[in-house]
Structure 1
């Protein structure tokens, strides 16, 4: 009987503790509600105590944009060369010259791209994979999404090699310098994959302009950590 009574008391103690906690919390809420006229700071957080983090970040971004826009726009110009070539090859036309003397070279035919996709799939995994890849490209064309898909493919065709090269060198640096991997690389990689994509797309637009290069860099930031 003594053992049974002790076990029953031990099980009832957590229940009593939680009841006391909930009773105390309800009493505190009721007290604040009744005294809200006398204690306004307990109802509304005082504006003077708010830390202006948003203002600090805005000021920092304005300073970076004013002092480093020449560097970021130079990077945009360099990365824009292969990106414009890929987009012109797959999604847009090549335009050479200006005015009446402009020469327009058409993009790759959708038939040619589908055949190339089929041949690439066949070389990588046989006839079944080739038929699957070619069928997927044909599906995109039949449903009127070809231009959008080729824009994405052109963007990825430049972003993926960039991510591979960047990830390779960063990985080698992390292997050779454990302190850099622990203090710099790991926290940066965690931030790059946990922060939502559109959260760092806005700074990219401010620094690199409203261009496909900004989207490519944002894609690279998210895709580099697995590399």
Structure 2
């Protein structure tokens, strides 16, 4: 047995810190939670209230715009139609709303942090170990602090998903900008471009494949949190899988799992297509 006099625990210090956050900033957290919840409820209401065929047409149109290929577009439409045939369309819309909000927040956080990291070696040195911890920490651990701060519901599920899913986007945005050819940047500098012109006109377009790969990874990691998020009040396909586990209903769990896989395939194909150069997509 390890000597007790040499042991210590960070649990009390962390709990005290979280309690202080709740005490001093509880109202702020509540306002933030209400704002995010209003967005989720509005988006979910729009998706669930719209005719299924209209949502299907919109997603197929986005797939066509991304891929410019007939077969992948038809496959995406057929897969989504299959989810409806299995009776999980409404559940998929709930999950889709959750995913869109979580991915949007991840992009709003991840891309700017990736850009700042690419511009500052010091910031990168600080972020790297933090991102390592975020990616290796068991996903269940993220549920504890968000539950204490926001309670049960969709908001803590989204925040736990964002914490788990945002690291690859930060890393790949940083990598993409750092890999922009120095000769290209020197030429742009010689023409007198400002920092914003370099960033918006050169670095981000050239780093777009890497950034979109980060968005893709973030989306896939967010989808992997769907079932875990259902444990704290997030509904949708994850809830169906959870009920299947609790009731030992293999068919119900497998059916919902297949729907999650289909949603992952749709996201993956569309995001990958947008990440490729347009001339490559057309060919």
TM-score, scaled relative to structure 2: 0.54
Q: Quick check: 1:133 aligned with 2:90?
A: no
- For 1:196-215, list aligned pairs within 5 A: 196-215=138-157
- Correspondence for 1:77: 34
Residue ranges of structure 1 left out of the alignment (5+ in a row) = 1-43, 92-106
- Correspondence for 2:47: 90
Aligned partners of 1:174 and 1:181 also within 8 Å: yes
- CA offset digits 1:53-91 (Å, max 9, x no partner): 333332332222222222222221222232221111123
Q: Quick check: 1:191 aligned with 2:148?
A: no
Q: Which has the higher contact order (CA 8 A, sep 6+)?
A: 2
In 2, Cα distance between the equivalents of 1:159 and 1:130? 25
2:88 to 145, 150, 153: 145
1:166 to 109, 118, 121: 109
SS across alignment from 2:87: coil
- Correspondence for 1:31: none
- Correspondence for 2:122: 179
- Bigger radius of gyration among the two: 1
Q: Quick check: 1:61 aligned with 2:2?
A: no
Report how many aligned residue pairs link the two structures. 168
C-alpha distance 109-195 of structure 1, shift in aligned 2 (>3 A)? same
Q: Give the superposition deviation at 1:191.
A: 1.6
- Correspondence for 2:8: 51
Aligned partners of 1:73 and 1:209 also within 8 Å: no
Aligned partners of 1:123 and 1:130 also within 8 Å: no
TM-score, scaled relative to structure 1: 0.67
In 2, Cα distance between the equivalents of 1:188 and 1:83? 28
Aligned partners of 1:189 and 1:225 also within 8 Å: yes
SS across alignment from 1:226: helix
Residue ranges of structure 2 left out of the alignment (5+ in a row) = 170-283
- CA offset digits 1:165-185 (Å, max 9, x no partner): 2112111221222212102x1
- For 1:10-29, list aligned pairs within 5 A: none
- Correspondence for 1:117: 59
